[in-house]
Every structure is written in structure tokens, then in C-alpha cells.
A = this chain, B = another copy of it.
Amino acid sequence: MSFELRATQALKLLHDFGFGLVHDQAPDLSLRQLAVLLTVYLERPPHTVRGLAAKLKVTKPVITRALDTMGRFELLTRRRDPSDRRNVIVQRTVKGALYVERLGDLMAAKARNLPR
């Protein structure tokens, strides 16, 4: 099992994947929002607004708004940190987990159809 993905194959994968998402009427997230979502689901908690902003090198309102939007889709939730009530902890949701899982499956499926 190797991952020697040539650039041309990577492009086709990206194309097919993006196509699948647009085609499926999935919420049209921006690359930034996607990066936030995947960070929360792939990296180790806890995730704060400040931490996410620093990690992505964007301003805090960008994160707040991304959480607003994706929260509306129920892909994420916010919770106040009990130990330091200034902080907001970003949490996963069932819907979000399913959505992320679908992303992975879709991409893996598209990778399977790549020409050698």
C-alpha cells in the first residue's frame, strides 16, 4: 500500500472529489471552513477559537463566523470551558462526524478510480 501520487493524479483526484461534493449538493464550504472542520475532527482536542485562529493564521472573527455557519449545519458545537469561562471549546457532533466520514469515503472512492 503506497501513496506515490503523481501531481497529475492528485489533480484528477481533486477534480473528481470536488465534483462529487458539488454534485451531491453538500454545503458549499470554503477551503478555510473545510480546514477548520477537519482540524477539529482530526487533531486532538481541545480546540479553542484562539487556537484554531493561530493554527490557521487567520483572525479570530474568521473562526467565530466559520463556527456560526457550520454550527447552523450542526457540523460542530460550541461549549464554554468550565475551567476557564473565557474559553470556548469547539466540539464534534454526530452530524459532523457523519459528514466528515462521508468526505473521507468519497475521496477514497475517487482515489480508487484513478488511472495508474
On A, residues with C-beta under 8 Å from B are 1-15, 17-19, 21-23, 28-32, 34-35, 38-39, 41-42, 56-58, 100-101, 103-105, 107-108, 111-112, 114, 116
Known contacts A30-B28, A57-B23; is-contact A15 B42 (Cβ 8 Å): yes
Residues on the B chain within 8 Å of A3, using CB:
3, 5, 9, 111-112, 114, 116
B10 touches A35 (CB 8 A): no
A18 / chain B contacts, CB cutoff of 8 Å: 31-32, 34-35, 38
Copies of this protein chain in the complex: 2
What is the minimal beta-carbon distance from A79 to any residue of chain B, in angstroms?
A: 23
Which single member of B2, B111, B114 contacts A10 (CB below 8 Å)? B111
